[in-house]
Homo-oligomer: A and B are copies of this chain.
Amino acid sequence: MQNHTVGGWLDELASESSTPGGGAAAAMNAAVGAALISMVCNLTVGRPKYAEYEKELTAALAEAEELRGRALRLAGDDAAAFGSVIAAYKLAKATDAEKRARTAAIQQALVGAADVPLRTAELAAEVIALARRILPGSNANVVSDVAVAASSARAALDAAAVNVEVNLAALTDEGHCAAVRARLSSALTAAAEADAVVAEVRERIAK
């Protein structure tokens, strides 16, 4: 997605084509959150007033850049995983052997299709944790952008959770479903953390 123009990518998102779809949108929201954390770090590091937080925000900047790169790759992984599901459903099902092979291929593809939004949710939770970490030392002029970063990552988290559930709905391996749901639940605790970041920023602005 990164080499498309923003307008062109949104046109594709809006089109009848299933990819890019909600999975890529969630990854994009996470990437926007990570990019804003980078911006806040870039506008804080090197300022004498925030020297106390220099080390912390320099480390956060490197992490935010890494998270943004991962988010962009997840958008591509999502399209590939969706392609595998579609390909599996199209497999021949004339004989019993073909039916079994097709069912196995569909199940395997669904495992992959649930894995991408699960990783997106976990990445979004990392972006939110990073927003919380930089909040005390962020340049006051751009503290509102920390809230925007947290909101955007929270949207990625909520969206990814729905996308995980959609793919688990047709998965028959209950053990795997339970394992994925456990990881998802853990990531989803970051939603409250995002709300706390937004609330704290609002308080600071109101002062």
Interface residues, chain A, with chain B CB atoms under 8 Å away: 1-7, 9-11, 13-16, 18, 21-22, 25-26, 28-29, 31-32, 34-36, 38-39, 42-43, 64-65, 68, 72, 142, 144-145, 147-149, 151-152, 154-155, 158-159, 162-163, 165-166, 169, 198, 201-202, 205-206
Choose from B11, B28, B205 the contact partner of A162 (Cβ within 8 Å): B205
In the complex, the chain B residue whose C-beta lies closest to that of A167 is B144
Copies, count? 2
CB <8 Å contact, A1 and B10? no
Choose from B11, B35, B142, B159 the contact partner of A151 (Cβ within 8 Å): B159
CB <8 Å contact, A10 and B15? no
CB <8 Å contact, B158 and A7? no
Q: Is the interface of A mostly helix, strand, loop or mixed?
A: helix
Q: A29-B155, A163-B148, A205-B162 are in contact. Are A35 and B14 (CB under 8 A)?
A: yes
CB <8 Å contact, B43 and A36? no
CB <8 Å contact, B169 and A147? no
- Chain B residues with CB under 8 A of A18: 43, 142
Q: In the complex, which of the residues A31, A36, A68, A198 has the most CB atoms of chain B within 10 Å of its own CB atom?
A: A36
Q: In the complex, which of the residues A10, A64, A147, A163 has the most CB atoms of chain B within 10 Å of its own CB atom?
A: A10
CB <8 Å contact, B32 and A29? yes
CB <8 Å contact, B169 and A148? no
CB <8 Å contact, B152 and A154? no
- Chain B residues with CB under 8 A of A68: 10, 14
Distance in angstroms from A128 CB to nearest chain B CB is 12
In the complex, the chain B residue whose C-beta lies closest to that of A3 is B5
